[in-house]
């Protein structure tokens, strides 16, 4: 990939809204945030669709924010506009 294509891609990416994940379910009964017994991984699940994603528990606990750049919030979890 050429440098100009990389710059174009990054420009498109950062032109999208920045969304931050709220680690707690925020009172949303559709979201389950569960840390596995060994504590190594936390799984965030949409209880209606059963879609989920996982993150290392230490990364989730130590991160000041978990952010994505997207046109729309991810379907799983609670995301707030930054």
pLDDT tens digits for range 44-59:
888 888 988 888 988 8
In terms of Cβ atoms closer than 10 Å to its own Cβ (0-12, 13-18, 19+), residue 19 is: buried
Question: Which two three-digit tokens encode residue 64?
Answer: 């000041």
pLDDT bracket for residue 65 (50, 70, 90): confident
- CA quadruple 65, 66, 67, 73: dihedral sign: negative
Domain boundary assignment for the chain: 17-81
Q: What percent of the chain has pLDDT over 90?
A: 7
């Amino acid at each position: 990939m050429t440098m100009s294509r990389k710059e174009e891609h990054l420009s498109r990416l950062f032109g999208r809204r920045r969304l931050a994940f709220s680690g707690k379910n925020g009172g949303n009964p559709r979201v389950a945030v569960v840390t596995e017994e060994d504590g190594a991984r936390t799984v965030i699940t949409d209880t209606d669709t059963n879609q989920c994603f996982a993150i290392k528990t230490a990364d989730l606990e130590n991160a000041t924010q978990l952010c994505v750049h997207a046109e729309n919030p991810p379907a799983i979890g609670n995301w707030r506009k930054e």
